[in-house]
Amino acid sequence: MKMAALAGLLLAMPILVSQIWRFIAPGLYPREKRWAIPFVAFTTIFFLGGALFSHYAVFPLAWRFFAGFSTDYMEFLPKIAPVFALYVKMMLAMGVVFQLPTLVFFLAKLGLVTPKFLIKNTKYAILIIFIIAAVLTPSADPVTQTAMAAPMIVLYGISIGIAWVFQKRRPDDD
């Protein structure tokens, strides 16, 4: 049942995001409503990208770390229920983490963040990224935390580029 729920969530992501947009849209101005398709597309693509990154990179790395504790005196015997719970939590956390470029895209379009602001506060962003990675990581090991923080730092760099391209232009900038 849990596997079916996870697969259903991943497959229904575009519909879920479009329903979230339909909830938000009545409170927006007409010029802001035209961002519906980019919102649904970016959110879906980045969530699925985060889920795939978790599946192919983060979870195997964490699994090798945990399996490395096997010795002559101790054997690594995981149970499927806790392992799957760890897998789902990591996949959902990475899906949420990969929403950073989408968030920055909309904040830049609204004029709430600028590339200059993001560059100026990079050291604080890296600190916050590691704190978020520590909170979102289902296990307490530093390997998994770093594996979650590293793509967040790369996504922050991509977000600076997105903010530069899509920043709200002032009339005096033209």
> pLDDT digits over 48-65, tens only?
999 999 999 888 888 888
Amino acid making up residue 109 = K
CA distance 68 to 54: 19
- Predicted pLDDT at 49: 92
Percent with pLDDT over 90 in the chain: 24
pLDDT band, residue 28 (cuts 50/70/90): confident
pTM confidence score: 0.78
Sequence ranges of the domains in the chain: 49-173
For residue 15, pLDDT beyond 90: no
CA distance 66 to 68: 5
Amino acid making up residue 159 = S
In the block, tokens 């770390």 appear at 65
* Tokens read off for 33: 């409503």
22-41: b (≥16 Cβ within 10 Å) or e: eeeeeeeeeeeeebbeebbe
- Predicted pLDDT at 172: 54
**Does the CA dihedral 55-58-60-62 come out positive or negative?**
negative
CA distance 63 to 170: 49
Mean pLDDT score of the chain: 85
For residue 170, pLDDT beyond 70: no
- Note the pLDDT tens digit of each residue in 85-126: 888 888 888 898 899 999 998 888 888 899 999 999 999 999
- Note the pLDDT tens digit of each residue in 122-163: 999 999 999 988 888 877 778 888 888 999 999 999 999 999
